[in-house]
Structure 1
């Protein structure tokens, strides 16, 4: 229930505008709803005329069927995330290879509302992978200019080459790293904190496919700090050698991962208070209803609305209203149990989800909240703003068998409390 930091909205806009990766969102039909400027930088297509068109219009014809199948897997719920490498068309008639990382956006009832994700231009990496198997001398030139870090090892797992970007990312010089085992220099853990390189002398690739990769990985740099990275690996043999060495390609994705976390947070949290928003609360209620029905338990909802909120705004100013909402976000959770859920339902309404609570316990909690709100006016500069709230309580399954009816009953009882004089708890007794 901790609020987000006071970071201006323009800060995130600035990050989006300057990222090298494309950040996108589509609707449930796959039509672009948002693209950052990197889309134009990479493909040459302007953002404005692209919005509203299907993402398939910009996929290489040979790749469309496969990518459509991935999209349908997200839409059907078989996958929650998608990682795929494919070719996107450019305005000049060519194409660029992109690494697609996409996440399904769930609607209020579990259906897919759209897709949120990023596109990373991996054209240079794709070209490099082919080049390394053909021409080592030509690859050296590419390695010096590529934006990704590249490590090449010999068959015994000892490092043969670092490109300049790998030196910068790892914090190792090529001379100091040469001859060391890959695991000594490329110290990477997965999202569970487990080392990726379990066999120091082996290439971190699958024995069947010959490929290896990691999306949610962390690199321990020589200086001690950690960096979020994405990496891929494949065996590569020099001419005249039977045993293959390994090429590892990796890149710093710290800014991208931070932004993805911020976007995911903002999708489920209220901007002003930092509390869970309506969509997140609806999902929590649906999960609790399924659990309660499966285990034969009850749970309750408390819907509360601040009384005469508009009058406080009119008397003390709009900032006063925001301060009151923030004060409620700070105060109310202190009176609730550890297992309870609390969030902003909308406007000046808040909702409490009480797992395992029957109607009598829910009413006691609501009365405690009502008294606490009434007894603690909200300080604002030299003023103290008096606040009261009205409460509607509904319990599953005694009041309703569905979440929609339970929310409707709580809402009805809330406004019965309003009509009865406000600053009351109404539970239908």
Structure 2
């Protein structure tokens, strides 16, 4: 019987140990997820939460006690209580396996934070009613804000894209599925956006015969040709790919378009899709075709040419005209020969034409070209391109003029439509909040949108065209904020200023605004760079997020002190300050005594608690201007600016005394720790490694002298601390 009892006790003890180990692992898992945990007695309202639950809303646990259902209700946004109650009821009634709710809770600082709350009932009473629930809170404020920012950005992008229905904008993902189809695309192709978004490929808009001819040379040895999407996007990997294509509308009509395809990359540089912009040029091509047809007719002999031709007397009377000119002006030949060109010229153009005639007669020019208006027989206005030369006899005396008259009314109408389209595009740019500038290579501004004019020239200004960009745009950099940047470096196609835009500042009076500058080159018909388009966007928030990321990268997550990376940067600054000013500074190196037994005896969680407590002592034991860092393990360092070694020794003694009296409760024990401190002065010309080595040597010396004391380079002083301990008093 005794043996049986001993066996049962041993089994029970092993089971208790296993449960304790399981509890420890669960605690570590929960702490690792940074989640706030809670338990709730549904019937009594009693609640139990962990420290993280209180930290999420900015409190210590003891500030919220006693914690009950009313505590939760008081913290939740009133508009979200009904959502939470509905989710709870669904779980209680068996309609959901878990209680899940996204809600807002008031932080101690007064702000509302977003919480993802999840839990389930784990105990029911005898009547089948929920008795105990357990769950976890997670702070998802940043995620929720990112979702809202993304939604707002999509709305702004859609508004800009839809602002002009003259340009069809179609975006796809990397697989060719359409993700954006603006009103211009709907107008051009006859499809509604909902008919193509999320499933259609833009290849369906291309003429099949045209694309078959284009894809045939691209087939591989087995005769497999790429898809339309693959072939076109392959051309847009390094730069925008533009080409004329035939598009098929939903109703079967064919439209000629100029399609430009560009690759879209995410912030990480990875490809996220493609965007195509198509402009309908059908009418332009038709107008050009008509002009070419007219030009072919004009190429014949004088009498049969489609080009209007005339012999004109020195006084301006028509001596002879061809049939084409009669058709252009709407007169029978006999009637046209009875009038002069002055009578048929539009009054607004007559003086210009007569002045050029006088130049011919005076010998100041041999010919001239002029676009002018004629008044037709029916009173209609006819735009014509006039070419005139003077025929002289052997003695150089003027005989008559030879005039060639080309009807360009259709072309002028097309140009007018293009001009109106350009005006609509400019109106779209004026609706954008970003600053948009078109700048020639000599720095002369050719165009500025409304936002740029308003910000750079003031509310009363009408235009910046003709101004030099250096005179109106004051750019500097974060590296040299007091030195204005010569914007010529941004207008040099062969320059190396491509990365400057990441650190640009726009000076506005006494203040500066971080800006991101995007640059695209403008080219002439021969492909030569003739200028650039700049888009300047306020980059304040993005720079702030980058600074925060750098700050987090230099912080020790356990103690919230600086890590080694941040420490070395601050130490280099301190050494540089000593070189520049000659002011004293000291480096303190701290190594905890008998820390390993605490880790070995009580576990790493206990060790982490000790490190946190030591960090708190160091942080509050020095000035705000001093830099405290955890270098790794149980090693710490303090940079004491403006502090001599002797004064640093006094500070070290005070810290040592505080650490010696430090007692950290852990389970049924109280953990104690000691420290060895080494101090070395910072000197001009010293490297970071030399400074750390000097202070570390003094710390090693302190350990060699029995631990728990302070040693200073160049001095024989020793400041003892409290007696060494075994890491526990319990």
Instruction: State the TM-score, normalizing by the size of structure 2.
Output: 0.30
Instruction: State the TM-score, normalizing by the size of structure 1.
Output: 0.48
Task: Give the number of the structure with larger relative contact order, counting CA–CA contacts within 8 Å between residues 6 or more apart.
Answer: 1
